[in-house]
Amino acid sequence: MNPIRVMVVDDSVVVRKIVTDVLSADPGIEVVGTAVNGKVAVAKLAQLEPDLVTMDIEMPEMDGIEAVRAIRSGSGGQKYSRVPIVMFSTLTERGASATLDALSSGANDYVTKPANVGSVAQSMESVREQLIPKIKALTGRPVSTPQPRAAALPPPPPAAPRTGPGKKPAVLVIGSSTGGPEALAKVLPQLPASLPVPVLLVQHMPPVFTRQFAQRLDRLCPLRVVEASDGSPLVPGTVHLAPGDHHLVVPPVGPGGRAGLQTGLNQGPPENFCRPAVDPLFRSVVTAFDGAVLAVVLTGMGSDGRNGAGEIRAAGGTVIVQDQNTSVVWGMPGAISQAGYADEVLPLDRIPDAITRHLAGVPGARTATAAGAPR
């Protein structure tokens, strides 16, 4: 298989060198060129023919957000209007806001620039750990396998048979990662303020980003969306978003019964290389709500949520996952589908209706027609 062709866009000579050196050290990646700003990057697309672009945000002449919009509009050639773009962001309020703007404009994912590191070697390791897995996931061509990811997936198995009747959900839990911010911005605004259950949400994101993201979702949604804090009562119509670097859980029921359930935050070890992670939330609600759980897993790389989804389903809960055709990366939902834990595998635009239907106690047939189709 040919190496993944990457164009590196950054106005900093130092950053361009770090990123280029890190990527060039991977035999499955080839840096085909660099650009000092967005304008140069758009002009070079047709010449360099990259499979993926890494894009700084703050640059002279044309910044990264403008460049993303230009690429998506076809200014660099219609052939490259859908090229995956990974933003390079600073871990600041301003950087978080700009990154979310870039994702809204069509960027696929982001990595945070190394901060407070003492050496170039540490900076390179930080970039290597964050960036290379995302490049491989977004291009769908992990070099460890001889075939593209999508074509190599076997058809999803049927959902495992239930041992008892499903339970009407008393809580909605959602997990997402790569591509999740935009997927959530399409799903949550379709849910009514009168939603009869509380909502808990894990999106893989660092601190600062989660606070800004919660505020953006709150402006978009009839539901109230907050960055979760420790000890908040769980009430219908409120979405609690896990804060960066903290697992969000629901502690076991206390003396007040289910009506007294609250959010809980902890900094337990990362799971699936993530904190916040989906699995701790899913496990906790199985116990707190006695399996009366509706779980939704959207686009994301990795397999976070698979084990928790299995526990939810075994306890009588219901699991819905996004299909492959509409996922940016069919890692997390694909892992659940492949394990036989998905009651329904649906395109993104059908998920809000499915949520409303299940919360009303009306189950649906499992839909997997697009689940195994190559993207």
Chain CA centroid to CA 238, Å: 21
pLDDT digits (tens, 9 = 90+) for 70-92: 999 998 888 899 999 999 988 88
Interatomic CA distance for residues 161 and 366, integer angstroms: 12
Asked if the domains 4-146 and 171-359 are classified in one and the same CATH topology, the answer is yes
Average pLDDT, the chain: 88
- Among 134-148, 188-202, 280-294, 333-347, which stretch is predicted with the lowest mean pLDDT? 134-148
pLDDT digits (tens, 9 = 90+) for 7-57: 999 999 988 999 999 999 999 999 999 999 999 999 999 999 999 999 999
pLDDT digits (tens, 9 = 90+) for 223-257: 999 999 999 999 999 999 999 999 999 998 755 66
- Among 193-197, 250-254, 361-365, which stretch is predicted with the lowest mean pLDDT? 361-365
Interatomic CA distance for residues 183 and 309, integer angstroms: 19
Interatomic CA distance for residues 183 and 58, integer angstroms: 25
pLDDT for position 126: 84
pLDDT digits (tens, 9 = 90+) for 254-275: 556 677 899 999 999 999 999 9
Q: What Rg, from alpha-carbon coordinates, does the chain have?
A: 21
- Among 144-148, 180-184, 274-278, which stretch is predicted with the lowest mean pLDDT? 144-148
pLDDT for position 44: 95
Please answer whether residues 95 and 108 qualify as being in contact, where contact means their C-beta atoms are separated by less than 8 angstroms: no
Mean pLDDT of 188-203: 97
pLDDT for position 51: 95
Structure tokens at 342: 């998905």
Mean pLDDT of 155-164: 62
pLDDT for position 374: 34
pLDDT digits (tens, 9 = 90+) for 211-220: 999 999 999 9
Burial level of 256, CB count in 10 A (0-12/13-18/19+)? exposed
Clarify whether 177 is annotated catalytic.
Answer: yes
Q: Spot the catalytic one: 204, 240, 247, 358.
A: 204
What single DSSP character describes residue 323? -
Parallel, antiparallel or unpaired: strands 247-249 and 264-266: antiparallel
pLDDT for position 355: 97
Interatomic CA distance for residues 322 and 309, integer angstroms: 14
The DSSP H or E segment spanning 316 is: none
Mean pLDDT of 110-115: 82
pLDDT for position 371: 40
Domain extents in the chain: 4-146, 171-359
Sheet strands side by side (includes 29-35)? 29-35, 4-9, 52-56, 85-89, 109-112
Per-residue CA distances from 153 to 33, 49, 180, 323 (Å): 32, 27, 22, 13
Clarify whether 109 is annotated catalytic.
Answer: no
Interatomic CA distance for residues 193 and 197, integer angstroms: 10
Task: Reduce the DSSP state of residue 294 to 3 states and report it.
Answer: strand
Mean pLDDT of 283-297: 96
pLDDT for position 303: 95
Clarify whether 204 is annotated catalytic.
Answer: yes
ω before 196 within 30° of 0 (cis)? Answer: no
Q: Spot the catalytic one: 10, 63, 304, 343.
A: 304
Percent of the chain with pLDDT over 70: 88
pLDDT for position 122: 82
Interatomic CA distance for residues 329 and 204, integer angstroms: 14
pLDDT for position 127: 86
Q: Spot the catalytic one: 97, 176, 177, 337.
A: 177
pLDDT for position 91: 80
Structure tokens at 56: 């700084």
Percent of the chain with pLDDT over 90: 75
pTM value is 0.88
CATH, range 4-146:
3.40.50.2300
Which CATH fold topology does 171-359 show? Rossmann fold (3.40.50)
Please answer whether residues 375 and 327 qualify as being in contact, where contact means their C-beta atoms are separated by less than 8 angstroms: yes
Closest CA to 276 of 250, 304, 248: 248
Please answer whether residues 29 and 142 qualify as being in contact, where contact means their C-beta atoms are separated by less than 8 angstroms: no
pLDDT digits (tens, 9 = 90+) for 123-156: 888 889 989 999 999 998 643 333 333 444 555 6
